[in-house]
Amino acid sequence: MNRVRCGFGLMVAALLHVSCRAPEPTDSGQPAWEVRFSHVLSTGSELHLMAERFRDLMLERTDGRFRVVIYPSGQLGGERVAFEQIQVGAVHMAITGTPVLSGWVPEGQMFDLPFLFETRDHGLAVMSGPFGDWWRDLLLERTGVRSLGFLDYGFRHVYNKRRPVERPEDLVGLKLRVLQNATYLAAYSALGVQATPMNYGEVYSALQQGVIDGGEANAIGFVSSRLHEVAKFYSFTSITYNPITLLVNEPFYAGLPDDIRATVDRSAADALAYQSRVARQMETEAIEQMRANGVEISRPDLTPFAPAVRPLVRDELADRLPDGEALIARLVAEVQRAAEAERE
C-alpha cells in the first residue's frame, strides 16, 4: 500500500525533515492517502465538527482512498508547533488562527486590531473577500502552507473568576491569558490587563491554581474546554475578532492528482459552510449551558471601550509593519465598505 507517512510520531516538527510527495492511488482497498489533521480545541468544539465533516466527505467522495486522522486537543502540540509541523510535512492539515500565524505573516496582525469589526458576519465577509485572499497569498508565498478558507469563529470575549466586566475599569488588574501576539498584548495591556501568553492546553489548570484570573475565547470554546467550571464571569466584550483558517501543506496538496485536489477544495468549502451553520446554534446552546452552570453573563455597552485602546494600538501597529499606515488604511476602507454592504 502506498501510504503517506510524513514524519509519523509525536516529535517536535523542527527536528523533522521529511517529504510529503502525494502517492498514487492503489486498488488494494487500503487508503492511498492517510492525512494527519491537528487542532487544539476539544472534540466538543465546532472546529472539531468541521474537521470531522471534512474527513467524512473526503472518505465518501474518494471511495475510501483519502483517510483523515484527526488529532484534537493539542495532542500534537500547540498551534505554533502544529504550524511548524505542517511546514515540514509532519502534519498535513491543521486549524490555526491568524494571530498565531503573525509570527510568519506580521501583516495579519491588522485583523487583530481591537474593535475592528462590527459583527461576526462583518468579519467573515472581509476575511472571505479580497483582503483575506491577499493574506492567504502572503502565507503561501512565505511559508509553503496553503489556506483553504476561513472558519466562522467570531469574537473572543473576556471570561474571569473575579468579577463581571461592565466598564473598561473592570478590566484593570485582571491577569488574563491572551494569545501570543504583539497586537493582542498591546490591546489588552492598554486596557489595564496583565496580559499573559500561555498555551491553550495549560489554561484550565492555570485557572484552577490561580496563576491567571481568566482569558478570552468565544462562547463555544469557553464551554467545550470546560472553562465555565472554574471561571464564573463571561462578558461579551468583542475586543478582538479571531480569524481561524484551515491549512494544508502545499507540497502535499500540489502533489495530489487533479481530481483528488479538486475534491479537497470542494470538501473544504462544504465543511467550512457546515461549520458556519452549526456554530451559530452551538453558541446559543453554550450560553444556555453557562447559565445552567451558574456563570454570570454580561453584555456591556462597548462605546467607552474603543476610544481607550483603538487609536493607540493602531498607531503602534502602523509603526511596526512595513508600510503599516497605508496597509491599515486599505483595510479600514475595506472594513467600512463591507459594513455598508451588510447594512444594505
CA pair distance 260, 4, nearest whole angstrom = 14
- Which residues are bridge partners to 70 per DSSP? 37
Topology, domain 13-152+243-285: D-Maltodextrin-Binding Protein; domain 2 (3.40.190)
Half-sphere exposure of 302 (CA within 13 A, CB side): 18
What is the DSSP code string of 43-69? TTSHHHHHHHHHHHHHHHHTTTSEEEE
Of 86, 80, 82, nearest to 101 (Cα)? 80
Contact in structure between 107 and 255 (CB atoms under 8 Å): no
pTM comes to 0.86
Per-residue pLDDT 10s for the chain (344 aa) are 333 333 323 333 333 333 344 444 455 557 899 999 999 988 989 999 999 999 999 999 999 999 999 999 999 998 899 999 999 999 999 999 999 999 999 999 999 999 999 999 999 999 999 999 999 999 999 999 999 999 999 999 999 999 999 999 999 999 999 998 999 999 999 999 999 999 888 999 999 999 999 999 999 999 999 999 999 999 999 999 999 999 999 999 999 999 999 999 999 999 999 999 999 999 999 999 999 999 999 999 999 999 989 999 999 999 999 999 999 999 999 999 999 888 87
Q: What share of the chain is helix, strand, coil (3-state, %, to 5)?
A: 50, 15, 35
Of 254, 229, 235, 226, nearest to 296 (Cα)? 235
What phi, psi does 315 have (nearest 5°)?
Answer: -65, -40
Give ranges for CATH 3.40.190.170 in the chain. Answer: 13-152+243-285, 155-241+295-343
Question: What pLDDT, on the 0 to 100 scale, is given for residue 308?
Answer: 86
Contact in structure between 150 and 244 (CB atoms under 8 Å): yes
Q: Which amino acid is at 68?
A: V
Class of domain 155-241+295-343: alpha beta
| 3-state secondary structure string across 234-253 | EEEEEEEECCEEEEEEHHHH
Q: Provide the CA 103 distance to its chain's centre, in angstroms.
A: 14
CA pair distance 328, 185, nearest whole angstrom = 18
